[in-house]
Amino acid sequence: MYVSDQVGATIEPVAGLSSRLPAYKRAILVSTVLATVGLLLGAGWVWDRGLIVPVLPDTHGVGHPYKKNTGFVVTLWLTNRADHDVVLLGAGQDGRGLKLSAVQVNSPDALPELRLDRLRTTGFPATLGRDVTAELRLFYTVTDCSAVTAGPWPVPIRVRQWWGEMSVDLRPEIDTEFMDDAPAADGMNGKSRGWQRSLADQVCPT
């Protein structure tokens, strides 16, 4: 039978100690160790299957300006890798210099030719079965070009599982026109600037 390094590390020092203890104490010690090992293995099993926190790995997307000098849209693809359904309740957030105007999930239509202030959030709640992928569109209005932050900026996703609701911060890889390795005027390349700053740079007047 294969014993993982983690379990082996737990059992090995106890084995030597138990041989010097009375029989009843050895029984208690062995029971305690086995219970601990069971909890460790059980916790790993629960975590890997997304029973506590949703498993939405390898999130990726693309972003581009939506309306000149007003905002941009980011499209994300999320795949549920848990063993059970996950219900999407919402996504995205406002940020410094940015207003989240609308979010659409699994929209069958092409990008609507509407002003950002006329867009509406649609498609929620959306149920993702195992290995099912959802498409999210997040529409942002740039309210202050100079205030938009640089660097990593997570995308919070609100979900409902069997035990209740929670929010998960995703850090997706988002491709934009400026997300390359060439240095910008401020000495930061596209990736280090962050997707929100790179997209704001495309939208804001120079």
What pLDDT does 189 receive? 46
What pLDDT does 12 receive? 46
What pLDDT does 36 receive? 58
Report the C-alpha gap between 32 and 26 in whole angstroms.
Answer: 10
What pLDDT does 21 receive? 55
What pLDDT does 66 receive? 85
The alpha carbon torsion through 111, 114, 118, 123 (nearest 10 deg) reads -20
Give the sign of the dihedral formed by CA 185, CA 188, CA 190, CA 195: negative
CA atoms within 13 A on the CB side of 146: 0
Report the C-alpha gap between 145 and 123 in whole angstroms.
Answer: 30
> Tokens 């737990």 sit at which residue?
10
**Low-confidence residues of the chain: pLDDT under 50:** 1-15, 17-18, 40-51, 179-190
Report the C-alpha gap between 150 and 152 in whole angstroms.
Answer: 7
Report the C-alpha gap between 193 and 199 in whole angstroms.
Answer: 10
- 102-130 burial code (b ≥16 CB/10 A, e <16): bbbbbeeeeebeeebeebebebbebebee
Both tokens of residue 203? 């939208």
- What are the helix (H) ranges across the chain? 5-18, 23-48, 190-193, 195-203
Paired with 98 in beta bridges are 95, 142
DSSP conformational letter for 125: S
> Tokens 């997706």 sit at which residue?
172
- Bridge-based pairing of strands 173-175 and 60-67 is parallel
